[in-house]
């Protein structure tokens, strides 16, 4: 079945690997990282498993594992660099029942469904691999798609031990996780993220959900997967815009809790954009570590700390909603939103202009927009922002930067500063529309 054994062998070659191996401290990052190496089973050899704890990320030729230690469940994020979806040994240890259902969409299915199907079919305990292929798009992250998944679960008589697999980006991950959390009041599910954004953000941490016609992610649950399995080779078929959208979230982690990582991102942004293996692997792991640490500290957003992950998101959600979902990608809207949050933080005296410029520069280098759509005025922003889940008793809490590498969640700001911030961008546009539009990276023809 499944074999992991042997001693750890840390291989760090060349400049990039050296950089990756260097310990880079951060208060917030407390997630542990275990190294695990697979060995061919010699016939009849006893099955063994050993894990070696390493304090810093390391590069290896095969597999790397990071653990998320959330209060409700502890689970691994397993990274593979080579095509691995067909590898039953990767999946078998995480499946308890004899039936599985792969949920994916019409774009991802032709690319990867057959491989995952092959991998799962070969797991000794699995005798049924069912599938549910949804249309592609944020506009299908709805109650109807949830119903479609559950209809398949019922028709195929899945039971409490069955496992759902989410094969795709954040939309498929959020939908599948939600379905898994409510079918029979909760069955196991495994995230197999195939977008950079899903790897570094949506697949980890247990937020699941669907959209309501009046607001995004308004319906959902906190429900951790049983494992997150990353085959990084799947990222190669991604549209460059989608890669940039993922990088926005990677940069976010530097901003909210890891200044050193932000500095590293500044030096390596072009390597990330081109998916250079060492750089993207390191960026994914460090991002997942950041996310895991935040989730471990505040899984259900009860202390409010977890909300720091939403830097740029309140502005971003307003942009996504006002322009019509799908026009701006989530990561793009977050990028512009982070610039707005940074500008507001500057106006409140938390950070200086220089930091705002650095943020704009790195996002621009990642081909991300750094301005809100010129069509949005104060009223539009405030209307959409009022729908935010962080609103309590009519008061909107915002995620702001206290300094580079530290975000805070606060309702303690003058409303006028928020208004001024939004108006500032309007003015920038009015003064120099062409210069402004140049900063809306995704609108530029490729």
Active-site amino acid positions: 185, 207, 249, 291, 301, 306, 310, 313, 317, 330
- From 41-49, 83-91, 151-159, 305-313, span contacting a second copy (CB under 8 A): 151-159
Give the binding range for a second copy (CB under 8 A) out of 3-11, 182-190, 239-247, 401-409: 182-190
Q: Which is nearer to ligand NAD, 202 or 289 (CB)?
A: 202
Q: Which long-range contacts (CB under 8 A, 24 or more apart) does 276-283 make?
A: 276/16, 277/81, 277/232, 278/16, 278/17, 278/20, 278/59, 279/16, 280/196, 280/232, 280/235, 281/20, 281/59, 281/64, 281/79, 281/81, 281/232, 282/19, 282/20, 282/57, 282/59, 283/200, 283/247, 283/250
Backbone angles phi, psi at 69, to 5 degrees: -105, 70
Nearest approach, Cβ of residue 146 and a second copy (Å)? 8
**Which partner, a second copy, ligand NAD, none, binds residue 159 by CB below 5 to 8 Å per kind?**
a second copy
Q: How many CB atoms lie within 10 A of CB 39?
A: 12
Confirm or reject binding of residue 181 to a second copy (CB under 8 A).
yes
CA–CA gap between residue 176 and residue 2 (Å, rounded): 26
Q: Which of 159, 239, 352, 353 binds a second copy (CB under 8 A)?
A: 159
Query: Which partner in a second copy, ligand NAD, none is near 242 (CB below 5 to 8 A by kind)?
Result: ligand NAD
- Count the residues of the shown chain that bind ligand NAD, applying the rule CB under 6 A: 28
Count Cβ neighbours within 10 Å for each residue of 425-438 and write b for 16 or more, e otherwise.
Answer: bbebbeeeeeebee
**CB 134 within 8 Å of CB 105:** yes
Q: What binding mask, one character per residue, do residues 311-350 give for ligand NAD by CB under 6 A, x or -?
A: -------------------x--------------------
**Cβ nearer to ligand NAD, comparing 142 with 364:** 142
> Scanning residues 102 to 141, which ones bind a second copy (CB under 8 A)?
none
Q: 370 is written with which tokens?
A: 């750094």
Neighbours of 107 (CB within 10 A): 17
Which residue in 83, 93, 215, 277 binds a second copy (CB under 8 A)? 215
Tokens 């308004």 found at: 218
Q: In this structure, are residues 11 and 62 in contact, taking their beta carbons and an 8 Å threshold?
A: no
Choose among 219, 108, 221, 212: nearest CA to 165: 108
The binder of ligand NAD chosen from 194, 281, 289, 314 (CB under 6 A):
194
Per CB under 8 A, contacts with a second copy among 69-108 are 97-98
Residues at the site binding a second copy, with contacts judged by CB under 8 A: 97-98, 143, 147, 150-151, 154-155, 157, 159-161, 178, 181-186, 207, 209, 212-215, 218-222, 300, 386-387, 389, 391-394
Residues at the site binding ligand NAD, with contacts judged by CB under 6 A: 105, 107-108, 111, 136, 138, 141, 168-172, 174, 194-195, 197-198, 201-202, 205, 207, 217, 234, 237-238, 242, 245, 330
């Amino acid at each position: 079945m499944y074999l992991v054994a042997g001693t750890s062998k840390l291989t760090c070659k060349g400049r990039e690997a050296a950089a990756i191996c260097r310990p880079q401290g951060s208060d917030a990052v407390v997630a542990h990282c275990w190294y695990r190496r697979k060995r061919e089973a010699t016939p009849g050899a006893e099955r063994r498993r050993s894990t070696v704890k390493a304090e810093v990320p390391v590069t290896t030729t095969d597999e790397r594992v990071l653990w998320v230690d959330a209060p409700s469940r502890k689970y691994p994020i397993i990274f593979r660099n080579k095509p691995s979806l067909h590898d039953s040994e990767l999946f078998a240890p995480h499946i308890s029942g004899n039936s599985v259902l792969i949920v994916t969409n019409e774009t991802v299915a032709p690319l990867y469904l057959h491989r995952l199907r092959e991998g799962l079919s070969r797991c000794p305990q699995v005798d049924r691999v069912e599938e549910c292929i949804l249309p592609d798009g944020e506009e299908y992250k709805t109650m109807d798609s949830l119903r479609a998944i559950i209809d398949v679960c019922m028709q195929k008589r899945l039971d409490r031990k069955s496992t759902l697999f989410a094969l795709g980006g954040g939309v498929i991950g959020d939908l599948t996780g939600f379905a898994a959390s409510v079918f029979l009041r909760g069955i196991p599910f495994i995230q197999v993220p195939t977008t950079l954004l899903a790897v570094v953000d949506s697949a980890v941490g247990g937020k699941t959900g669907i959209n309501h016609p009046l607001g995004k992610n308004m319906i959902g649950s906190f429900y951790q997967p049983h494992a997150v399995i990353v085959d990084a080779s799947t990222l190669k078929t991604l549209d460059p815009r989608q890669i940039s959208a993922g990088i926005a979230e990677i940069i976010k982690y530097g901003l909210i809790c890891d200044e050193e990582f932000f500095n590293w991102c500044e030096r390596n942004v072009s390597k990330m954009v081109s998916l250079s293996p060492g750089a993207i692997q390191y960026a994914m792991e460090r991002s997942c570590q950041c996310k895991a640490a935040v989730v471990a500290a505040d899984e259900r957003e009860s202390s409010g700390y977890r909300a720091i992950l939403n830097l740029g998101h309140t502005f971003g959600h307003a942009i996504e909603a006002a322009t019509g979902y799908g026009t701006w990608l989530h990561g793009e809207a977050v990028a512009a939103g982070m610039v707005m949050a940074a500008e507001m933080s500057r106006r409140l005296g938390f950070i200086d202009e220089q930091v705002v410029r650095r943020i704009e520069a790195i996002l621009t280098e990642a081909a991300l927009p750094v301005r809100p759509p010129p069509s949005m005025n104060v009223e539009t922003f405030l209307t959409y922002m009022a729908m935010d889940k962080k609103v309590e008793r009519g008061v909107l809490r915002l995620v702001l930067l206290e300094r580079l590498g530290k975000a805070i969640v606060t309702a303690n700001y003058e409303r006028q500063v928020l208004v001024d911030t939004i108006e500032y961008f309007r003015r920038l546009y009015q003064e120099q529309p062409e210069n402004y539009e140049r900063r809306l990276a995704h609108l530029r023809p490729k």
